[in-house]
Structure 1
Amino acid sequence: MESAGAQVTALEPPMSHLWDVVPSQGIDLVAWRNGFSRQIERVRNSFWYAHAELKSSVRMIEVDPYQMTDTIGNFDIGLLAAVLLHCRRPFDLLESVAARTRKTIIVTEVYNASLGEQAACAFLPHRGVDQVDTWWHFTPQFFVSALGLLGFTEARVIFHTQRQPSVEGRIVELFTVVCEKPGNT
């Protein structure tokens, strides 16, 4: 985005919050969080390495994504790329982003065709599954409806696939919802 001329601000939750972990009996959440913290530190270090190598001017801000204050400013476009499935309170996060966004919000998430075409989300955690990092699957209509409530009423949906780099040959089905405030198309 920066190379195309955009002024980019990346938002990251503070390491003290890090992730909305699913509380799950029988999983050592302290050990999980410690291992995950090391992974995230490597990801953040790679961001700063690329930032320096590319002489980037991307601004990075650590902020509670559920309570973004006026001090971070406003943005023309808000982009949420495969993050809401990891959030305990996805609507609250959308609302927080919408409050800081003037024109367009773009949401990309995993597509689960079995959810149908209604505005819906499926709660994924359940007993017997040892995962603590994924809460939800959504339909595209969920975001069309939710963002419409927040004033982003002009919507379009794109379906696409992406290779998952960590699993050879795995293709992930995704959707992207682009919602704009009227008059900003």
Structure 2
Amino acid sequence: MDVPGHGTIKGEWDLRGSVDDYLGNFDFKGKRVLDVGAASGILSFHIEKQGAEVVSFDLSENFDWDIVPFAENNNEIARSERRSHLRKINNGYWLCHQAFQSKAQMVNGVVYDIPRSIGAVDVAVFGSILLHLRDPFLALENAAALAKEAIIVSDISPYRKFTSKFKRNPRFMPRSISPDGITDGWFRLPPLLVQEYLGILGFKKSTIVWNNFKYGERIRPIYTIIARR
């Protein structure tokens, strides 16, 4: 992110100049938007610049990440380390919130119990969040209870070529033979499956677009679904 007063802050992903593509070039002007899994706030602050009222939603250090509970690992230590990491993420959000002079509201909690007190929103955004969730359908269901107009889902494809096999079949990411591997990722969810999830929840009119984005020194394909009621 290019943060006023702080310069360029490096991260794993570089969405600068391509956030609109990442969000499916949706018109957010005049909308009330729920940014689920806001992290450093890059999507929240960008959407706010488009003329939207934004509610950022994310875990805080008072909540647990959906870590993969490998039997070989000390999961209490992993949980403690993740909470420490969440504290840094939250601090980063508030630093950027001040730097961008944002008016976005932050609500902390777990995605499986998004507070109804947030009230109705026009749009809910899931920016590369579903892969980190043990129950992605329940997360979408909670957001759907608040979203009146649309849900936008951006998520990662494991392939550079968008094979028909992946478009329909999910991939379970953890592997029992490598407990020291991925502990914060659960699924690579194909776009046609996510479309079905959203259709079940009442968002039956949807489109899929594909784009490439910079992840470190690599280019990674990401699909974006815009689903409307």
- Segments ≥4 residues shifted beyond 4 Å: none
TM norm structure 1: 0.89
| 1:122 Cα deviation from its structure 2 partner | 1.9
1:147 to 186, 192, 198: 198
Secondary structure in structure 2 of the residue aligned to 1:18: coil
Residue identity matched to 1:72: I
State the number of aligned residues.
178
1:122 to 161, 167, 171: 171
8 Å contact 2:157–2:223 — kept in the other structure?
yes
| 1:30 Cα deviation from its structure 2 partner | 2.4
8 Å contact 1:115–1:121 — kept in the other structure?
no
Residue identity matched to 1:153: K
Distance 1:126 1:117, change over 3 A: closer
| 1:125 Cα deviation from its structure 2 partner | 1.4
Whole-angstrom CA distance in 1 between matches of 2:151 and 2:168: 17
* Ranges in structure 1 where 5+ consecutive residues have no aligned partner: none
Report whether the alignment pairs 1:170 with 2:228: no
Report whether the alignment pairs 1:79 with 2:125: yes
TM norm structure 2: 0.73
* Ranges in structure 2 where 5+ consecutive residues have no aligned partner: 1-46
Aligned Cα RMSD in Å? Answer: 1.6
Report whether the alignment pairs 1:48 with 2:97: no
Report whether the alignment pairs 1:63 with 2:114: no
Superposed CA deviations along residues 16-51 of structure 1, whole A, max 9, x for unmatched, are 333111110222222222333222212211110111
Whole-angstrom CA distance in 2 between matches of 1:71 and 1:17: 19
Greater shift in the superposed pair: 78-87 or 68-77: 68-77
Residue identity matched to 2:198: L
Greater shift in the superposed pair: 83-92 or 68-77: 68-77
8 Å contact 1:140–1:177 — kept in the other structure?
yes
Q: Which residue of 1 aligns with 2:187?
A: 136
8 Å contact 2:60–2:86 — kept in the other structure?
no
Whole-angstrom CA distance in 2 between matches of 1:41 and 1:22: 20
Identity of aligned residues (%): 25
Whole-angstrom CA distance in 2 between matches of 1:68 and 1:133: 20
1:30 to 61, 76, 90: 76
